[in-house]
Structure 1
Amino acid sequence: MQTQNLAVHPELQLTIEKAREQNISEERLAVLKPLIEYIQTKMDQGKEVNLNFICTHNSRRSQFSQIWAQTAANYFGIPALCYSGGVEVTAFNERAVASIKRSGFRVSSKGDSNPIYLISHSDDKEPIKAFSKLFDDPINRADQFAAVMTCSHADENCPFIPGTEKRIPVRYDDPKEFDGTPEEAERYDQGSMQIASEMFYTFSQVKK
């Protein structure tokens, strides 16, 4: 079990502590096992760990996953590079951005139709750059990576992803269905918390 290796922003630390207290079902532990094994194998081989979290629009779930996975990797001192992408370009959904802010990340942005967000989790690490892009965008690692499929549509409609070493389904429910409802913020935060808890569990299991 890994211990904390990085000081994060105080507000974010509280969210992380809550995430690490969440109960993860046996069913979800089984889903996460191939991801843990992939990361551990790369570590044991002394090779780079590159993870590309993919959903259709690179708008909500894959963004949450990239941000929380990179934060967890840095938190535990695991040298992983986490990316995200989709099969269509839209924008990092503003509701998901708002949820990330509520979690304690410090966020700045530039641009209009598809803004580039800088997501800061620690004063000691460069911010995570987040914007909607294709999975093979130049900013993402082009080869020797695991494609982590975070939605059923992308998983079922992308039978081949060039450059990937392993395809790992880790699907999440889409909070989009609650857009414009009184439950909107709560549902986005619940989705983000689930992903946070599972990414922190995943990286806590990796032996350096």
Structure 2
Amino acid sequence: MHFTSRTLLSLAAALSVAAAQSADCVYDVQSAPFHLRLTSDDARLNDTLLVSVHAGPPFRQLVSEVLLGEKYPGNNLSDISINFYYNTTSNNDPNLNCLPGKLHWAPEQSWPSVFGLESSLASNVLPVIVSPTQGEGSGPQFDEEGKLFQRARSFSPVITDENTWSGANYYKWFVCATVYGNYNYGDALTWVSGGLPDGKDCRAVNVTREWA
């Protein structure tokens, strides 16, 4: 895979941030293994599992296991992971700006992984990328029913006299055809930042943690 100088600089900077953060925020509490199950009105996606797939070192995307097998029948898909782990920190220092948790696809990984969204001014469809370069992301979280969500505060960047902040859980997951680098996955997990997705072949989903 070809990396531009911008990509390499971004990766180096992000790794530096991750290394600096790791000195304070150590994600030393690991969950039991679990699967990520999709529910959807789309019959082909409903009740299928997400797996992590290679999208260029050290990047991973999350795609439907069943549809990935249909797209590449008979191919050796040894570089996929069906099990996931959720690492949190045991440090309760309120002065530290730690992520809620980090999503891992192996019990012991050689780098810290952060669940992030790859934004673009050209589309409201944001591919989910798991990598050490997504240090500014909010991290994945699971609600009481085990559903994956993003926690955000509603805020308008336009200055008004009535700016207010309020926390809310958002579940704006879609499976869409995506391109990331040289990797083209037709059924990858994405986030839609507003309105209906303008991406090709996007289908709404919920993602639920299911203990393995």
Q: TM-score with structure 1 length normalisation?
A: 0.24
Pair member with larger Rg: 2
Higher helix share: 1
Higher strand share: 2
Q: TM-score with structure 2 length normalisation?
A: 0.24
Relative contact order higher in (CA < 8 Å, ≥ 6 apart): 1
